[in-house]
Amino acid sequence: MLKKLIFSIIFFTILFGYRCELGKEHNRSRPELELSYLSQSGNFMIHYDSSGSNSPVNLDENNNLVPDYIESVSQIAEESRDVLINVMGYQQEPDDADGIYDIYIQNYSRWGANFPESTNGESYIIIDNDYSGENFESDYCSNYLDKMRISVAHEYFHAIQRSYRPDYNQDHDFLLEMSSMWFERLMVDNCSDYLTFSESPIGILQNPTQSFDGTDVDASNQANFGYSMALFGHYLSRITDSKGFEDERNSDIVRKIWEQYCYIQGSDSCPENQSPREAIIQAIEGFGDSFSRAWSDFMARNMLNGSYSYFNQNMYYHEDQQYINPPSVGITDVISQNEASTINLVLNPYSASIITLIAFNDMIINSGFSNNLDEFNGYYSLRGDVNTYNFIDNTNFSLNLNDMDTYSLVLTSKTGSSSVDFSFEVAIAPDLVLSISKVYPNPIISNQNIIFQIETNSAIDFIDEARLNIDLYNMLGQKVGSFYENIQLNSGYNDISIPLKNYINSSGTYIIKAAIDLGEHGYKNYSKKITVFK
């Protein structure tokens, strides 16, 4: 098994290598290319050859004698600069004396490179000329122009980063790559190549219990681990800094991380030489959150990766979660009715401790912790016919599990290393029958009420109250409305009426996602398409 793991890591490194190169040789010579193109605003000079192996894709649809590829490089560079500096408030890249940033187009073996020229931070970029060939294959990005765009955005953010850490001898590949991978996805919606690295043998999803800052990873793999951690960047800029939930360009938190990480020797503005770990934790705390809560929440939400074929905003932090697998976690126990057990977990303040149980029958699991909640933050996730996840706010709680459900606990210590005993007892679940038997009328006029008919048996008499949760989505997967109401259910048929006009005002086809929350007795889910006429 160990030999197989070592082989897979070596194979991955050979196959993918570093997607981006962070050169550190101060005496490196810039490429010598035939032509130059000044961007419209004058901020960028794009260097290229008109012929030969380095020449770009030969298209010139506007007949201005400049390859369209070169103009596209210029455009995404200008867009990236505008977003980073004018929208998100980052410092400008260090000047190399002429006030123009240089990008070189070559037949290159990697997606891109950023080369610093001195310990003052000035740098230049090299980008591939066509993104064709096996070095540029990706399951999550197919268009060669999109591959070029994410590469320019990625490498230019490295240039910006050097205004915060100009001495390349102080580079920490983990943080540089985590944030550049995060930024490239902000700039190009339909290109998510970073997901390739999230699921790599040394990525965070294959190693979900290692330290978040890559200190468990060999130094030679810090960059690849950083690529995989772009997911956490998206979590921080959508959940921790909620200003970015609809548009991450409204978020400040990644910039705050770089402001914490900023170090210029002898400077009053950046006097502290912090580690990436310290910078990230302090930035999170600056938003009134704690790292232990954020990290356990992040990993618990990842446990539901791939459960939905749309952006479920109640459980996902990013739409790309629908395309990837959950973290690779071994099964701690397969549990059956009338079982009782205690599991000891060693907790760490910089990583997640995870246990995973699989239910062998329908059951109620009564859980408890030996320690109080002052020592750790934690979430549980439930994956199966019904998917849910929740913050652990009580040392004792109960859940209803269906046969073959996966029940995971994700805990992170609030302070130093510690341990906690997790105990559970399994009881036979009540023979509850509950379903949404009908949603009508369909089609429906938008000013009508829509009726949910819920059917249950007499076992419902043992449940005091239920909660009906309804989310409405358009066909693009965007949430257009939500409805929540506590309801009292009786055995037989129950009709719940909802005024549709409060949530949908436009004609079209919509998806209704309904869940009946029975507290400790679990969830029942329902999904249906409806057609609405104005």
User: What pLDDT is recorded for position 116?
Assistant: 92
The helix/strand/coil state of 497 is strand
**Cα gap 177→100, rounded to integer Å:** 24
Q: What is the mean pLDDT of the chain?
A: 87
Which residues on adjacent β-strands are paired with residue 103? Answer: 46, 125
> What tokens does 183 get?
């930024």
**Residue 413 to residue 296: CA distance in whole angstroms:** 9
Using the predicted structure, report yes or no on whether residue 504 has a pLDDT greater than 90: no
- Taking residues 36-58, report their average pLDDT: 94
What band does 4 get if pLDDT is binned at 50, 70 and 90? very low
499-530 in b/e burial notation, b at 16+ Cβ within 10 A?
ebeebbeeeeebbbbbbbbbeebbbbebeeeb
Residue 525 has pLDDT above 90, yes or no: no
The pLDDT value recorded for residue 523 is 64
Question: Mean pLDDT throughout 119-138?
Answer: 92
pLDDT in tens, 390-419: 999 888 888 878 889 999 999 999 988 889
Q: What is the pLDDT of residues 62-121, one digit of tens each?
A: 888 999 999 999 999 999 999 999 999 999 999 998 999 999 999 998 899 999 998 999
Q: What is the residue-wise DSSP string for 253-265?
A: HHHHHHHHH---T
Lowest mean pLDDT among 127-136, 328-337, 435-444, 461-470: 461-470
The string of DSSP letters for 13-80 reads HHHH--SEEE---TTPPPP--SEEEE-TTSSEEEEE-SSSTT------TT-SSS-HHHHHHHHHHHHH
Q: Which residue has the higher pLDDT, 470 or 317?
A: 317
Cα separations (Å) of 323 from 139, 239, 311? Answer: 10, 20, 10
- Please calculate the CA angle 115-118-120 and round it to the nearest 5 degrees: 110
What was the pLDDT predicted at 11? 37
pLDDT per position as a tens digit, 262-320: 999 888 888 888 999 999 999 999 999 999 999 999 999 999 999 998 898 888 999 99
pLDDT at 8: 40
According to the model, what pLDDT value does residue 431 have?
A: 65
The one-letter amino acid code at 170 reads Q
Which 3 state secondary structure label does DSSP give 126?
A: strand
Range scoring the smallest mean pLDDT among 72-76, 502-506, 507-511: 502-506
Q: What is the pLDDT of residue 351?
A: 95
Name the residue with higher pLDDT: 218 or 299: 299
* Ramachandran angles phi, psi of 209, nearest 5°: -105, 10
Instruction: Using alpha carbons only, give the angle 196, 199, 205 rounded to the nearest 5 degrees.
Output: 145
Specify the range with the lowest mean pLDDT, choosing from 329-338, 372-381, 427-436, 503-512.
Answer: 427-436
Task: Determine what percent of the chain is predicted with pLDDT higher than 70.
Answer: 92
* Average pLDDT estimate for 369-378: 89
Q: What is the DSSP letter of 404?
A: T
Position 335 scores a pLDDT of 87
Q: How far is CA 158 from the centre of its chain?
A: 20
Please choose, from the candidates 52, 299, 264, 283, the residue with its C-alpha nearest in 3D space to the C-alpha of residue 161: 264
For residue 488, what pLDDT is reported? 72
Question: How confident is the model at residue 268, as a pLDDT?
Answer: 86
For range 199-208, the mean pLDDT? 91
Backbone Cα Rg of the chain? 26
How far from chain centre, in Å, is Cα 220?
A: 24
Query: In the structure, how many helices (H) and strands (E) does the chain have?
Result: 10, 23
pTM of the model: 0.81
Q: What integer pLDDT is reported at residue 2 of this predicted model?
A: 34
- Model confidence pLDDT, tens digit, residues 249-259: 999 999 999 99
Q: How many residues does the chain have?
A: 534
pLDDT confidence bin for 192, thresholds 50/70/90: very high
Per the structure block, which two tokens stand in for 532? 């609405």
pLDDT for the residue 522:
61
Give the whole-angstrom CA distance, residue 399 versus residue 382: 9
Q: How far, in Å, are 455, 472, 491 from residue 495 at the CA level? A: 9, 19, 12
Tens digits of per-residue pLDDT, 10-25? 334 434 455 777 766 5
Which span out of 347-356, 398-407, 441-450, 510-519 was modeled with the highest average pLDDT?
347-356
pLDDT average, residue stretch 457-482: 76
**In the predicted model, is pLDDT for residue 3 greater than 60?**
no
The pLDDT value given to residue 14: 36
